[in-house]
Amino acid sequence: MTAAPTEISAYGDHVLAVEPTGAEPVPDEARHGRPLSLLWTWTSPNMEFATVFVGVLAVGVFGLGFWSAVLAIVLGTALGAVAHAFLGLSGPRFGVPQMVAGRSAFGFVGNMLPSVLNAVTAGIGWFAVNSVSAAYALNTLLGWPLLLCLFIVVILQVTLAYLGHNFIQSAERYAFPALTLVFLVAAGVILSKSHIGAADGSHAFPGAFLLTVGATFGYAAGWTPYGSDYTRYLPRTAPRWAVALWPGLGVLLSCVLLEIVGAASATVLIPAKVAATLSPTAAFTYALPTWLADLTLLAIAVGGIAANALNIYSGSLSFLATGIKLPAFLRRSWVSVAFGVLGTALAWSGLSDSATKYNNFLLVITYWIGPWLAVTFVDRYLRRKESDSSIAALLQSTAHRNWSAPIAMALGTALGVWLFSNQTEYVGLVAKHVPAIGDIAFETGFVLAALLYLSLRLLPALRTTPTPATEPATEPATA
């Protein structure tokens, strides 16, 4: 069901209300807020153990030296943060979620490809990853059964997502100072007790650096398909520099800080017999005094919930962006609940062997997000001289087709994986013969998708541009 503009306007800036808006544009009279709020919206969700564990992977699994890991972390995260900052700009311009904004490039039907992928990645995949880390934190802190901790975490984060945009942003605002303070203090202690010189990287293969760049980029860029989901309520007059700066800075600073701390924590000396009995979160807090360890575990749980509120919410918006018609009663809020149920099932199955599954998941994200970003960036450049009104009409038209975008994205993804994937589940053709290159599937997929899209755009047969006479700018009932 699509919410009426008057209903969305009545929602306004109310916090304790269920958001009625789905995939339809936010009218000007319902716009509110300021860009600065995006700083805590995108800092709080990264103040969690999943971020820390990316740094742990760099040193503890890939075998990089500490300073090489820091360089790879900064490079990969910066690339993802810049992409994230850029994509949020479409929110104030068009008032629609990120996956709806993608219809200008992919067309109405072709946009189902990235929308479904992001719905599954965000609403189920990331939901499971963060639920597991938050559940382990509660389990270590309270000693309660792990499954009970998982259900507590799930109920809290689904409630946030059910209420929607305003409640989520308010929750992230209040979580921001507490999470930042706890993790900064914990970071100082862990860095003081780490042995970064012990992580010399002498046994790491050369591709470990690229693996780390790919993993850190995948973590930061994993937020890019959500970009305008949290900027679409901002007024059209919001300064573009601020709309881009604050979310990009929030992702960059939070991810770099916690990933570096994670890399350092992998060098903390823990007796082998003790390490074998510790969960990942317990190992991270091992070097901390008891009071700080307990606060950090609580912060990890809260950070996981903060992250998953965004994941479930944006996953449901991505599903609605497919244009699939739903029963009138099934609004965005109930779609969020459905994704919560599916994500819980996956999280339950992922309570064991989480390190390997997490590494593979980070790489798989980059496989499709890299080509998707390439097509999106190129299309934005090609449409730079088009008016906002003409692009807005494309976003709401069911007749708009541009098959060059999904074809380029699909081929770029497939070729990148086939040739250069390098993970436990599948090793690509080139990576199999030259394993030292690591995993460069996302870099290759990005370049191939960009070139393919530029080439295919020259073929008029792949495009159908709607006109007012053949297709009104209407949105099917999907919210």
pLDDT at 477: 41
pLDDT at 189: 96
Burial 434-460 (b: 16+ CB within 10 A, else e): eeebbbbbbbbbbebbbebbbebbeee
Task: Please answer whether residues 26 and 479 qualify as being in contact, where contact means their C-beta atoms are separated by less than 8 angstroms.
Answer: no
In angstroms, rounded to a whole number, what is the distance separating the alpha carbons of residues 249 and 39? 7
**CA–CA–CA angle 197, 203, 205 (5° rounding):** 120
pLDDT at 208: 86
What letter represents residue 126's amino acid? W
φ/ψ region of 95 (left if φ > 0, alpha if ψ in -120 to 50, else beta) reads: left
pLDDT at 472: 45
DSSP string for residues in 391-455: HHHHHH-SS-EETHHHHHHHHHHHHHHHHH-BSSS-B-HHHHH-GGG---HHHHHHHHHHHHHHH
**CA–CA–CA angle 319, 14, 33 (5° rounding):** 80
pLDDT by position in tens, the chain (length 479): 577 788 999 999 999 999 999 999 999 999 999 999 999 999 999 998 889 999 999 998 888 999 999 999 999 999 999 999 999 999 999 999 999 999 999 999 999 999 999 998 888 888 888 888 888 889 989 999 988 999 999 999 999 999 999 999 999 999 999 999 999 999 999 999 998 877 667 656 678 898 899 889 989 999 999 999 999 999 999 999 999 999 999 999 999 999 999 999 999 988 888 888 887 888 899 999 999 999 999 999 999 999 999 999 999 999 999 988 877 666 788 888 888 777 777 666 655 555 566 666 777 788 999 999 999 999 999 999 999 999 999 999 999 999 999 999 999 999 999 999 887 678 889 988 888 787 888 889 999 999 999 999 988 878 777 655 444 444 444 44
**CA–CA–CA angle 346, 348, 354 (5° rounding):** 85
Write the CA distances from 187 to 179, 260, 287, integer angstroms: 12, 9, 11
Task: Please answer whether residues 364 and 422 qualify as being in contact, where contact means their C-beta atoms are separated by less than 8 angstroms.
Answer: no
Residues with Cβ within 8 Å of 396's Cβ and at least 6 positions away in sequence, in order, are: 25, 473, 474, 475
In angstroms, rounded to a whole number, what is the distance separating the alpha carbons of residues 144 and 165? 32
Task: Please answer whether residues 449 and 385 qualify as being in contact, where contact means their C-beta atoms are separated by less than 8 angstroms.
Answer: no
pLDDT at 474: 47
**Structural element, H or E, at residue 463:** strand 463-464
In angstroms, rounded to a whole number, what is the distance separating the alpha carbons of residues 126 and 48? 13
**Stated pTM of the model:** 0.90
Place of tokens 């993790």: 183
pLDDT tens per residue, range 13-41: 999 999 999 999 999 999 999 999 999 99
pLDDT at 476: 44
pLDDT tens per residue, range 379-421: 999 999 999 999 999 999 999 999 999 999 999 999 999 999 8
The second-level CATH assignment, the architecture, of 5-464 is Orthogonal Bundle (1.10)
pLDDT at 51: 93
**Structural element, H or E, at residue 464:** strand 463-464
Q: Centre a 10 Å sphere on the Cβ of residue 202 and count the other Cβ atoms it contains.
A: 7
Helix axes 127-142, 146-163, angle to 10 degrees: 130
Residues with Cβ within 8 Å of 277's Cβ and at least 6 positions away in sequence, in order, are: none
Write the CA distances from 270 to 184, 291, 297, 474, integer angstroms: 22, 19, 18, 61
pLDDT at 247: 98
DSSP string for residues in 114-143: HHHHHHHIIIIIIHHHHHHHHHHHHHHHH-
